[in-house]
Amino acid sequence: MTVAAASTAAFSQESGAIRFVDVTASSGIDFVHNTGAFGQKWLPETMGSGVVLFDYNGDGKLDVLFLNGTKFPGKPGRSSTQQLYENLGGMKFRNVTKAAGLAIEAYCMGGAAGDLDNDGDQDLYISCVGNDILLQNEGGEFTDVSAAAGLSREYEFGASVALLDADNDGLLDIFATRYVTWTPETDLICRLDGKNKSYCTPEPYEGASPRFYHNTGDFTFVDWTRQAGLFEPDAKSLGVAVMDLDDDFWLDLAVANDTQPNLLFHNNGDGTFEEIGLIAGMAFDENGVARGGMGIDAADYDGSGRQSLVIGNFDGEMVALYHNVGDMLFIDSAAPAKIGRPTLPNLSFATFFFDYDLDGDLDLLVANGHLEPEIETIKANVTYAQPTQLFRNDGGRFTEVTDSSGGDLATPRVARGAAYADLDQDGDLDVVISTNGGPAQVFENTGDHGNWLQVDVEGAGGNRDGLGAVVEVVAGGVNQRWLLRAGGSYLSQSQTAPIFGLAGAAKLDSAAVVTRTGTKPLANPGVNQRVRASATEIRLQRARTPPR
């Protein structure tokens, strides 16, 4: 979103008037994450998992998919599957995992949803430890088409996923991060206290390149990782965010790496990429050190018209706020933006920008939780369970409001994935958080908010989700822009349709959908409603041949 200077001058929100309330018990969601732990502290056990918010059955309400682990082959423990909860309305859900064909026993981490075959429903790509899974949706029932679609059968450690039309051919491609090179046979022994085995950080493991699958149509994909310039064998990637660095409608990718330099892939305008993280200033911290990057998000939080980046990092490393200063250059502004010191003690996984109070600028959520249950005996002032932090945007700087507006978010937990959506269709954004080895939680956004507008974009002829299009809204003299994308946060996906906070504006000055080929105005939608826009400029083109 782009927010003009002093965008909220006419709208003041009293601290504490909005609160996030834990409604998990009454919602019908009873998911508990299975780490597969059996006493040996294998690396994957402490890293998962994510949550995907998407409309699996096309009824207009966002459903909740929790990715899940299971016991390791030949080891003790309990078997478990992925879990899908259908949204019944009114913040009520029911488990429809078996009926939807998602009772899949696999050790999975994250995922993303999108209409990969342009038939009008949402398909799924799920990243796993072992083999990733591609699921085709036919009327709310999913079929595993991984092998036929051309996915790799190599044993890999999957992490976050993004769906994007990289070459503007009208078909969504798949970018899947890989954490490290790990198998049950190569698990290493690390000791925090010099005696007992602890969970390893990624340093002793070899890296692993992300994978990029080009969509050739008919639900088949070709691995174009090398051809597209995305092969990075030293990467240890956990998070990915889709962005448009230079507003050319050729989508770029920002990747958060754990103890390796972050990556920034700039689209060359033909579906191939150049990695520019170092020269762009977001590969390292201000001292030239690679941090423990986890989750990531991209948005215009300061009204500059440019997308900046936020990255969650390890404890002792503040959350990174890479401010986009133009010309594809970034400066870490976490300290002056006042999110540096409050996040320093925490290990931050999921993080994202969202307008929780609907005042017209983007706030920030950071979900925290450590890897090592015994960390409190090793490090002073660092805990295993940690509060999720909420920061209100005050003109491009942030004020932590965890204890006031954060409500039940402030309760310490071992958080991993997190996503936002208007789950109860009242116009404000609710939050879902998954925890490692514990129960997932649903938080309802309650209280008095600004006015709002949700815009559902549908592409015509190709890219039915409209991903890569930009929605522009002007209200009360404030200009906001939102790039439609799938994936992000940490192993998770939030609502893709933008909800614009309009503060006290009682009407819109203008609204439009912008694509690579033009602008389509929307016919004066009113406030506090959900409208549908058809991006007729998004057209299906002939599938490209592999880049050279």
CA atoms within 13 A on the CB side of 351: 33
For 370-411, the pLDDT digits (tens) are: 999 989 988 888 999 999 999 999 999 999 999 999 999 999
Give yes or no for a cis peptide into 26 (omega within 30° of 0). Answer: no
Counting DSSP H helices and E strands in the chain, the numbers are 4, 36
pLDDT value for 196: 85
Average of per-residue pLDDT values in the chain: 93
Residue 543, Cβ density class (10 Å: 0-12 exposed, 13-18 middle, ≥19 buried)? middle
> What would the two tokens of residue 207 be?
């890296």
Helix (H) or strand (E) holding 25: helix 24-27
> What would the two tokens of residue 544 be?
């490209």
pLDDT value for 3: 39
> What would the two tokens of residue 147 be?
């092998």
| CB neighbour list of residue 168: distance below 8 Å, 6 or more residues apart | 249, 250, 271, 468, 516, 541
> What would the two tokens of residue 526 be?
């009113």
pLDDT value for 477: 87
Distance between CA atoms of 489 and 80, rounded to whole angstroms? 24
| Look-up of token digits 């990969």 | 116
Q: Over its length of 548 residues, how does the chain's per-residue pLDDT go in tens digits?
A: 443 333 444 444 444 589 999 999 999 999 999 999 999 999 999 999 999 999 999 999 999 999 999 999 999 999 999 999 999 999 999 999 999 999 999 999 999 999 999 999 999 999 999 999 999 999 999 999 999 999 999 999 999 999 999 999 999 999 999 999 999 999 999 987 778 888 999 999 999 999 999 999 989 999 999 999 999 999 999 999 999 999 999 999 999 999 999 999 999 999 999 999 999 999 999 999 999 999 999 999 998 999 999 999 999 999 999 999 999 999 999 999 999 999 999 999 999 999 999 999 999 999 999 999 989 988 888 999 999 999 999 999 999 999 999 999 999 999 999 999 999 999 999 999 999 999 999 999 999 899 999 999 988 667 899 999 999 999 988 999 999 999 999 999 999 999 999 999 999 999 999 988 888 898 878 899 999 987 654 443 333 444 43
Residue 150, Cβ density class (10 Å: 0-12 exposed, 13-18 middle, ≥19 buried)? middle
For 103-117, the pLDDT digits (tens) are: 999 999 999 999 999
Among 48, 51, 273, residue whose Cα is nearest residue 179: 48
DSSP assignment string, 465-491: T-TT-EEEEEETTEEEEEE--EE-BTT
For 257-288, the pLDDT digits (tens) are: 999 999 999 999 999 999 999 999 999 999 99
- 3 state SS of 390: strand
